[in-house]
Amino acid sequence: MPALPQYARVIIDRAIHRELDYAIPEGLRERIAIGSRLRVPFRDKSALGTVVQVLQETDAPGVRPIEAVVGDAPILSPALLELGQWISTYYCCPIEIVIRSLLPQVVRKGEVGWKKQLFVQPSANIPAEQLEALGRRAPRQAELLEAVMKLSAPVLATDLLRKTSLDNQTLRALQKRGLVELKEGAVARDPHANEEFMRTTSLTLNQEQVTALKGVEDALRDPESARPILLHGVTGSGKTEIYLQGIRLALNQGKTAIVLVPEISLTPQTVERFKGRFAEDPEQVAVLHSHLSEGERHDEWHKINSGRARIVIGARSAVFAPLKNLGLIVVDEEHETTYKQEEAPRYHARDVAVVRAKLEKCVVLLGSATPSLESYHNTTKGRYVLSELSQRVDENRMPLIRIVDLRLEARKDKSMIILSEKLRTAVGARLEKKEQTILFLNRRGFSTSLLCSNCGEARECPNCSVALTFHRDLNRLSCHLCGHTAAVPKKCPACGKDALIYSGFGTEKVEATVSAIFPQAVVRGMDADSMTRKEAYRDVLRSFRTGKIDILVGTQMIAKGLHFPNVTLVGIINADLALHMPDFRAGERTFQLLTQVSGRAGRGETSGEVFVQTFTPFSPSIQFARHHDFSGYFQQELEFREKCNFPPSNHAVLMTVRSSHPERAQFSAETLRRRLKENLGDEFVVGEPTPAPLKKLQGQYRFHILLRGQAIVRLSRKVRETLDKLPFPDDVLVTVDVDPYQLL
Ligand SMILES: [Zn+2]
Ligand SMILES: [Zn+2]
């Protein structure tokens, strides 16, 4: 037997950038292992921390003893801790911040426990004469006691009372007589307890699907040498069925599985598909997302950690689900940028999934109708295996995509920019046939700016360098970046003239315009403003599915994997919005958006039609999307990226220097750039410091430095070293974003 550890090396939850050693008191030695959570003395207070190493000796001076162990068992497996260390190095982020992402707060702090409820069981002996007497004097108590005596195991008191239609008073009376025992027990708060799941069985696969599943099966048989699989399947090609059957194969091997989906597609419909397929034991499916209550999150997490749950469906952070014996990780919609966390640690869940799979020797399956350039590039280099589904399962044809040239429409009549004549006619035809329409615009609000036609001033946010958006339902101006709102002025505050005009339009105005053109139609809008409540989102989707809404107008919320068989028309109000973003991925995002949104049309019996309104009808991303030509688009986009040294052929690191004093931000950025240039050498490209496209955000002035190079881990390390040696003034903040997706 190995000697029990004497010391523990601990990462404290607070950011102090180093590990500390503590002595383990005698009584705790058997309870402490890597991953244990502890309460330890730190300076003159106590703090929470995680054990990263156990030791027999230490040469650290002044070692103090551990105060207490939090929770019963280690809650971070060595494999997850190793993953955390990789994230810390790769994404240039202190390990204590990474651990905050690895463990939900409710688990880390150990303050919330299981919900306790009363369970009933019969007492050890109940004399027959007492039962008889009870029957005469208190028939209801006798009835309840009889029900209790039939139990083979304790049951929840509330369930028993509901079934017998008897009340709590009757139960308490029996307890007083000593005829039943009431005990507190832990019950799980199941976020989906009141939902019924229709049990489903495996569907018959077409030839392409059979081949795709075979690939997963082979990989599961030899996970150690398997490469990540990229499943490129057109919209409606039955990718989910491959995930479901792949998970079944992993379960049959006695293993577990994680399914990552973008937060926005984690709808009740999605959860139902998984719970329904594995309905032989609905509790084996756990769900992790941001709408869970703290109690629910605690229960789901422990259900996973204890091995009770074997399948986890969740958004980004579910990649850290503490499953043991992992067999398969599925990343659905792997191209989605919401997998990238925009605060530290700035990790990308898809890439973390690939690394976790490697560490735990499990299979990783990435799926998308529009794979990211990074993943597709990996298949051409042989790092990933490509698996393709080119047909829709219902054998429907791909929707017909028609391009509407807004330059011609604008010449006719300005109002046509919202709804061109062609799109108008198409919507009208759908209304007559009782078919449904989705109109899509990636911009919320009513008008995107309030301008003065006399002096040209726009109403800007006082904290951010963007125009305020007018929301008609609130009758206020609002900033979409910091949440600042302001009253709508009557006159221009700059020149005092009564010359204010609204310009630009968002979903609210599209909704109003469409309602005015088609007064007989039921039109509903759906965006982040109107959908702040979870139920509102569900209600609108339900009404739309049941045909109570004719036309749905929305932002990207409606672009994701929703299935509406009666939708035969999709209109993209302005395809140029994403294209003109100052971002090297603008073209990629446009292509993905058009393809994904088009995929919403024609999922039922009738094939669909898509209208794309644009001022740049000949831009490559629009033309390739129109012809459903992914590989053509990939070739030309890759060429462009290579020419400019952008990912995927190179890695990028974006550094942002910000301060409430513009000169100090700029000065610090210039100093930082000089130091980087010295430390990084010729191997890496160090860009000039430039004001960020969003030069002011929440009162802070921002400067960017973009670094590029091949050897990303070395680059990250050198960036860390440079920052550690460079003291910045207190009011200057520097952030590092490795493989950035947000360049504003
Ligand atoms: Zn003015
Ligand atoms: Zn603002």
Average pLDDT over residues 240-261: 97
Q: What is the pLDDT of residues 282-316, one digit of tens each?
A: 889 999 987 788 888 888 888 998 899 999 999 99
Taking the CA of 499 as reference, the closest ligand is 1
| Separation of CA 502 and ligand 1 centre (Å) | 13
CA nearest to 40, candidates 26, 16, 24: 24
Entry pTM: 0.84
pLDDT at 313: 95
Q: Which amino acid is at 205?
A: L
Contact 352, 87 (CB under 8 A): yes
Average pLDDT over residues 347-373: 97
Q: How many CB atoms lie within 10 A of CB 40?
A: 19
| Separation of CA 458 and ligand 1 centre (Å) | 8
pLDDT at 2: 63
pLDDT at 111: 67
Taking the CA of 495 as reference, the closest ligand is 1
Average pLDDT over residues 53-78: 85
| Separation of CA 412 and ligand 1 centre (Å) | 29
Taking the CA of 485 as reference, the closest ligand is 2
| Separation of CA 460 and ligand 1 centre (Å) | 13
| Separation of CA 416 and ligand 1 centre (Å) | 28
Task: Report residues near ion ligand 1: CB below 5 Å.
Answer: 452, 454-455, 457, 492, 494-495
Residue 736, SS3 per DSSP: strand
Q: What is the pLDDT of residues 648-696, one digit of tens each?
A: 988 999 999 999 999 999 999 999 999 999 999 888 999 999 999 888 9
| Separation of CA 575 and ligand 2 centre (Å) | 25
Q: What is the pLDDT of residues 569-604, one digit of tens each?
A: 999 998 887 777 778 888 898 899 888 888 777 655
Average pLDDT over residues 14-19: 73
pLDDT at 379: 97
| Separation of CA 702 and ligand 2 centre (Å) | 14
- Please give the angle made by the CA atoms of 575, 579 and 584, to the nearest 5 degrees: 150
Taking the CA of 464 as reference, the closest ligand is 2
| Separation of CA 369 and ligand 2 centre (Å) | 35
Taking the CA of 497 as reference, the closest ligand is 1
| Burial of 35 per CB tally in 10 Å (0-12, 13-18, 19+) | buried
Taking the CA of 458 as reference, the closest ligand is 1
| Higher local confidence (pLDDT), 413 or 704 | 704
| Burial of 93 per CB tally in 10 Å (0-12, 13-18, 19+) | buried
CA nearest to 242, candidates 216, 263, 267: 216
Q: Give the torsion sign (CA, 87, 89, 91, 95).
A: positive
SS (H, E, C) 124-167: CCCCHHHHHHHHHHCHHHHHHHHHHHCCCCCEEHHHHHHHHCCC
Asked if residue 729 has pLDDT above 90, the reply is no
| Burial of 95 per CB tally in 10 Å (0-12, 13-18, 19+) | buried
pLDDT at 604: 59
Taking the CA of 456 as reference, the closest ligand is 1
| Higher local confidence (pLDDT), 400 or 265 | 400
Task: Report residues near ion ligand 2: CB below 5 Å.
Answer: 461, 463-464, 479, 481-482, 484
pLDDT at 382: 96
Contact 439, 569 (CB under 8 A): no
| Higher local confidence (pLDDT), 158 or 475 | 475
Asked if residue 559 has pLDDT above 70, the reply is no
Q: What are phi and psi of 422, to 5 degrees?
A: -65, -45
Asked if residue 534 has pLDDT above 60, the reply is yes
Average pLDDT over residues 438-462: 85
| Separation of CA 501 and ligand 1 centre (Å) | 10
Taking the CA of 452 as reference, the closest ligand is 1
| Separation of CA 493 and ligand 1 centre (Å) | 7
| Separation of CA 455 and ligand 1 centre (Å) | 4
Taking the CA of 500 as reference, the closest ligand is 1
Contact 466, 683 (CB under 8 A): no
- Please give the angle made by the CA atoms of 296, 272 and 365, to the nearest 5 degrees: 95
Q: At what angle are helices 662-680 and 712-725 packed, to 10 degrees?
A: 130
Taking the CA of 451 as reference, the closest ligand is 1
The DSSP letter of residue 347 is -
pLDDT at 704: 94
Asked if residue 1 has pLDDT above 60, the reply is no
